[in-house]
Amino acid sequence: MNTSRFWVVGGEYTSCDCEKIVQGTERVIGPFESRTEAERTWRSLSEDHRPQAQVRFTIAQEPPSVLSA
């Protein structure tokens, strides 16, 4: 069975170009078994930080792995 997990990652960046994250603000949330679950968390975090232009989150997907049942 091929399976892939999802993570929500991000934090506050030094500028709006989002190239360098401010140390200590990094967040990694997960794993989530489905993209839908990850999107719910991403949406909530994004709404919570909407007024902060330099805070960004994204969804990262692990490469699929083969798990034996």
What domains can be seen in the chain, in order of their start residue?
2-62 (3.30.70)
Adjacency order of strands within the sheet including 27-32: 27-32, 6-12, 55-61
Q: Where are the beta strands (DSSP E) in 1-69?
A: 2-3, 6-12, 27-32, 55-61, 65-66
Mean pLDDT per block of 10 residues along the chain (69 residues) reads: 86 93 96 96 95 95 72
Output the pTM of the full model: 0.83
